[in-house]
Structure 1
């Protein structure tokens, strides 16, 4: 691992994205999302994702400058065409509109089409909890994952996230995970560092369990967590982030890529719920009552989801620096120095 100042890390983001050809608006939005993940010490979703941004531009599978096209379907539904762009600019444009609808109607939906979901889902979920809203989000991608018992990829990594605002200025309760046994970015980092994977992460081309990240990422496939239960959740996300909002399934996303090797293009489903509209004057009492659940974690000395990220965030913001894998830094510098 190496250390970079926040300023140098942000500058690295800007330089890489600018050299790749992204517009000023997209550079600012993508950099903000990736830096948030890096500050939270999420290595597989932070500056490492710049490599994906570069590859997608080189393969001409993503737009460098598309403006999100926003349609107000109803008082509670927003539909946005990202026009094959990375999603951060759409999120910055539309999450405030989604929050406004949810506060007015009690519940609101944001359906994003034709986007590349650049990094973790907690970014948009945290924006919603900051508005006092409960949030749920999911997205699909390329078909890299076999259904339980299968040997042919059918699902994407299909992450989902949930956020709950907590009273008294406490950090929100947020979980965000892929429905695979390990995130694809983490498997890629294992491959870069020559490390074998733990059991249960994937299979080879014959459906035989494999611990080799290169095999899983090329000729094989990833596995869902939790056997048939994780597989069912992955199928649910395929439907919510695909056909329900008028977008593609993961296997269709792969076909559209046609072997180019670009980042997955597809849909994102985001739901926002207002406890204030739903509960009225009783909202505060019920939010306080919900704290019993989180107290139960503390009493048993069990880590609350996201607490590790929040601790890393506080530490890194205080130090004014971040850590990143040396191999990722070297790859990014090599790209900047290339012709």
Structure 2
């Protein structure tokens, strides 16, 4: 029996939609989340694709997250849009606030979109790319549960606190990068544990505060910031902008809510997120040309690439070749759909 199941992207989308609706998510929200899952698989970001579906399901089954939540969008000021996600998942809330945020950024040159009471299980590049496609520069960041010790500490306080950035391009998809400000995304450690391989030293400490390359021990212990004290400072910035500014939860507050709920599922926390959006035409009309000038200089050196290019290559290939899903995960999702 094969260890993997071959799937077309249409099959990924259909299965994702079906299992989410079967477990209580509204059709409208399920279509958005299924797009997130499908795009992650298409781009080779498997740690945020089908791998995340059980997390969506278990958090709805436990009652901790509301799959039927209808986000509430509020115009807070000429340059600010706030979305209360109503304890729902982030992507539908972002899609709800997106039109007004884009309108404000293009009419004024700059705007911000803030989320609270949202649960984020997806890679942030999916969100940032939407705004890059609209011709805007986008900087977004999010909080989560507490998984990461502050620099010099050994107890979880921060989340993986991811950041994503999108920059529009002329006649091409936007340049988008997305990374955790911890030494690795938590999903990378979870995938390593599932597949039975080690993780690099410096990613995490075990529960006794010792360096570990064992992903299972890392999941029981704490993750570490990337770049030592510099990464630690960036994580503080993410917390302040994503949660302090928006009214969302700091990671330690989100963790307290999960603990108070009395059960730990594989779903997201009740967090906060910020999008800072800039229309580059506000400064001058040659921005896109200057972008290509810089990228040309980068690519003139052998061995370089532009961030996101590998994802776009994966996307083009998977559109015809499909993807491979771990057989055990595929069966787990089928059982969740049918059970």
TM-score norm. by structure 1 comes to 0.94
Corresponding residue for 1:39?
Answer: 42
Corresponding residue for 1:145?
Answer: 148
CA drift at 1:98: 0.9
Counterpart Cα distance in 2 of 1:232 and 1:327: 39
Counterpart Cα distance in 2 of 1:4 and 1:79: 38
The C-alpha deviation readout for 1:153-174, integer Å capped at 9, x for no partner, is 111000001111112x122111
Corresponding residue for 2:312?
Answer: 310
Corresponding residue for 2:176?
Answer: 174
Question: Are the counterparts in 1 of residues 23 and 337 from structure 2 also a CA contact under 8 Å?
Answer: no
Counterpart Cα distance in 2 of 1:127 and 1:334: 32
CA drift at 1:337: 4.2
Corresponding residue for 1:187?
Answer: 189
Corresponding residue for 1:231?
Answer: 232
Counterpart Cα distance in 1 of 2:224 and 2:331: 30
DSSP-derived class of the 2:198 partner:
coil
Structure-2 change in CA distance of 1:299 and 1:326 (3 Å)? farther
Counterpart Cα distance in 1 of 2:8 and 2:115: 34
Q: Does 1:22 align with 2:22?
A: no
DSSP-derived class of the 1:124 partner:
helix
Q: Does 1:207 align with 2:209?
A: yes
Q: Does 1:163 align with 2:178?
A: no
Give the unaligned 5+ runs of structure 1.
none
Counterpart Cα distance in 1 of 2:205 and 2:176: 30
Counterpart Cα distance in 2 of 1:7 and 1:109: 34
**Aligned residues, how many?**
331
CA drift at 1:101: 0.6
**1:28-107, aligned counterparts within 5 Å?**
28-107=31-110
Aligned partner of 1:110 among 113, 131, 134 = 113
The C-alpha deviation readout for 1:279-315, integer Å capped at 9, x for no partner, is 2xxx2x2321232321232112212211110000011
Corresponding residue for 1:327?
Answer: 328
Q: Does 1:268 align with 2:273?
A: yes
Q: Does 1:120 align with 2:123?
A: yes
TM-score norm. by structure 2 comes to 0.94
Question: Are the counterparts in 2 of residues 139 and 160 from structure 1 also a CA contact under 8 Å?
Answer: yes
Corresponding residue for 2:282?
Answer: 277
Give the unaligned 5+ runs of structure 2.
none
Counterpart Cα distance in 2 of 1:68 and 1:278: 33
